[in-house]
Amino acid sequence: MKNFIQEFKEEHANIEYCCYCIEERGNKMSCCSENHFVPFSDLDDSTQMEIINEEYDTYFGMKA
């Protein structure tokens, strides 16, 4: 059974995030006055863990 971190990384690998504020792109054409979005998998490890911890905290009320 995969843990939350592994599953999140696999499921969100191709979801794009703003390079500046790390907000999920969703349906936005630009963010932070720019059009610089990258897939989750291209973010550095610490940024990925920041996003994962925020999501985990939202789901379970604690850090991953």
Domain boundaries, the chain: 4-60
Q: Regarding predicted confidence, which is higher, 61 or 12? A: 12
Query: In which band, very low, low, confident or very high, does the pLDDT at 1 lie, cut at 50, 70 and 90?
Result: very low
Output the six-digit token pair for 10. 């696999």
Give this prediction's pTM.
0.82
* DSSP result, the chain: ---HHHHHHHHTTT-EEETTT--B-TT-S-BTTB--EEEGGGS-HHHHHHHHHHHHHHHHSS--
